């Protein structure tokens, strides 16, 4: 396919996403199934175009004076890909499978339109209904934080210390030019190509053999902040696909016991293959079984309960840009309810002197500091751990500078730490 035909295909997919209000991944997949002439390179390039357009959906509409899929694509090509108006015009010729030629109005806007005077939610590309939440979390930096969340994310990997060291992992992947992550001592970072595409890790021997796992540096730091040590009894209450479970297992050096569970057993499906690949031998997966209490024998026994809480995922918008436009206010309300419930559930398993580590991939105070404050108001037998002291004890002194100004815990974001947006707070039972 020509570059112009790829642009046309991306506009078609954007229209499908808007009309059917469905996840971008589903629309991209369906397009590929119905256009089998498109090779893997074409599909990857089209997908990257779609996601770039979704990242800048609001600001593109402002710049182009229109909110159509075509306008979204024009804005992305100009302001995400940095193409000059002449280069964009060369893609929009109307010939063959190219999009229709640019109008005079489109040419003028591509040449001169700016975000001067745009409200923060437009300049920062986040939903208008979330503007009060962003202002509460970031104040005058709201638009800057939103822009950072709209950037492409690099590929972050975690060196699996059960099988290798970071230096050896860097050497094994040297052809991809990985760099050490700035905060995590076990992290590697691979830059995304200019066209928005990442490396094909599934074909890399280092990945296949379990030497590295895909995990954002922020998620690595959340696990490291738990200070999990060999010999502990640990419960991962929201294990999902097992990212933090595997990180905890590596920290514990296969000594102790980790119990991994999730309220939705389907989310646990990938964990089994990942455990086999990682060499982790001390993880016991406890999938839900109807009304049976599969965790009954763990009551009051845990040194550490990890809560990777269900949340809006606002901190991961770099990787899932369509999610921010599909989210509705009711989703935030439901997540707050879920977070309060999972915190209450955790208290059942923590022994005296044990800890709850509460983690979200959200940047919203309503899901982070507010939830911890409400929990502490209900439980006088729990106290927050000083996050700066904890970060230093965990060997993360630079993270001590990211203590939340709104309550216990640390805050991370693409703008301040170069990671996804994460919040981590630790509560100890007295």
Angle between helices 40-55 and 69-79 (to 10 degrees): 90
Helix then strand then coil, in percent of the chain rounded to 5, is 50, 15, 35
User: Is 303 assigned to a binding site?
Assistant: no
List the domains of the chain with CATH numbers.
3-114 (no CATH), 155-214 (3.30.70.1170), 217-429 (3.40.50.150)
Distance CA 100, CA 8 (A): 9
Bridge pairing between strands 302-308 and 382-384: unpaired
pLDDT in the model for residue 290:
87
Distance CA 317, CA 279 (A): 31
Nearest to 339, CA basis, from 238, 427, 410, 428 = 238
Distance CA 219, CA 213 (A): 12
Please give the model's pTM, rounded to 2 decimal places: 0.94
Distance CA 338, CA 342 (A): 6
User: How many angstroms separate the Cα of 273 from the Cα of each of 208, 215, 276, 277, 278?
Assistant: 11, 16, 5, 6, 9
Instruction: Output Rg (C-alpha) for the chain, integer angstroms.
Output: 23
Distance CA 213, CA 207 (A): 7
User: Is 308 assigned to a binding site?
Assistant: yes
Q: Integer distance in angstroms from the first to the last C-alpha of the chain?
A: 64
Return the active site residues.
361
DSSP SS3 for 411: strand
Angle between helices 3-20 and 40-55 (to 10 degrees): 60
Tens digits of pLDDT across the chain (430 residues): 999 999 999 999 999 999 988 899 999 999 999 998 888 889 999 999 999 999 999 999 999 999 999 999 999 999 888 899 999 999 999 998 999 999 999 999 999 989 999 999 999 999 999 999 999 999 999 999 999 999 999 999 999 999 999 999 999 999 999 999 999 999 999 998 887 778 889 899 999 999 999 999 999 999 999 999 999 999 999 999 999 999 999 999 999 999 999 999 999 999 999 999 999 999 999 999 988 899 999 999 999 999 999 999 999 999 999 999 999 889 999 999 999 999 999 999 999 999 999 999 999 999 999 999 999 999 999 999 999 999 999 999 999 999 999 999 999 999 999 999 999 999 999 9
Residue with tokens 């911890």: 372
pLDDT in the model for residue 80:
85
pLDDT in the model for residue 302:
98
pLDDT in the model for residue 61:
93
**Extended beta strands in 205-364, E state:** 212-214, 233-236, 257-261, 283-286, 302-308, 350-360
Distance CA 308, CA 242 (A): 10
pLDDT in the model for residue 213:
97
Residue with tokens 């000594």: 255
């Amino acid at each position: 396919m020509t570059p112009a035909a790829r642009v046309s295909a991306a506009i078609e997919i954007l229209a499908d996403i808007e009309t059917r209000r469905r996840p971008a991944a589903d629309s991209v997949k369906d397009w590929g199934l119905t256009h089998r002439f498109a090779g893997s390179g074409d599909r990857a390039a089209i997908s990257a175009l779609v996601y770039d357009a979704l990242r800048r959906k609001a600001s593109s509409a402002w710049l182009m004076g229109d909110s159509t899929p075509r306008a979204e694509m024009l804005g992305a090509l100009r302001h995400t890909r940095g193409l000059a108006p002449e280069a964009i015009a060369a893609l929009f010729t109307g010939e063959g499978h190219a999009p229709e030629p640019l109008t005079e109005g489109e040419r003028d806007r591509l040449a001169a339109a700016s975000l001067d005077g745009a409200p923060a939610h437009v300049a920062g590309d986040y939903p208008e209904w979330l503007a009060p939440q962003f202002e509460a979390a970031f104040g005058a930096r709201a638009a800057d934080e939103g822009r950072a969340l709209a950037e492409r994310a690099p590929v972050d990997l975690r060196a699996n210390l059960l099988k290798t060291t970071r230096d050896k992992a860097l050497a094994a992947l040297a052809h991809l030019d990985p760099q050490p992550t700035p905060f995590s001592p076990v992290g590697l970072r691979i830059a995304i190509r200019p066209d928005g595409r990442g490396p094909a890790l599934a074909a890399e021997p280092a990945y296949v053999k379990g030497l590295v796992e895909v995990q954002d540096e922020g998620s690595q730091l959340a696990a490291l902040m738990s200070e999990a040590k060999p010999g502990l009894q640990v419960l991962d209450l929201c294990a999902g696909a097992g990212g933090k479970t595997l990180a905890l297992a590596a920290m514990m050096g296969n000594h102790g016991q980790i119990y991994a569970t999730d309220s939705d057993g389907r989310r646990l499906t990938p964990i089994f293959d990942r455990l086999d690949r990682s060499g982790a031998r001390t993880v016991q997966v406890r999938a839900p079984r109807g009304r049976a209490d599969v965790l009954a024998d763990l009551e009051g026994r845990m040194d550490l309960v990890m809560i990777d809480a269900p949340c809006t995922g606002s901190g991961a918008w770099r990787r899932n840009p369509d999610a921010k436009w599909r989210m509705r206010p009711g989703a935030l309300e439901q997540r707050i309810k879920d977070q309060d419930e999972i915190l209450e559930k955790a208290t059942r398993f923590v022994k005296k002197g044990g800890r709850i580590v509460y983690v979200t991939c959200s940047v919203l105070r309503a899901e982070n500091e507010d939830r911890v404050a409400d929990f502490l108001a209900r439980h006088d037998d729990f106290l927050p751990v000083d996050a700066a002291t904890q970060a230093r004890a965990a060997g993360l002194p630079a993270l001590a500078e990211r203590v939340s100004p709104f309550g216990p815990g640390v805050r991370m974001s693409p703008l301040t730490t170069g990671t996804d947006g994460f919040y981590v707070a630790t509560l100890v039972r007295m």
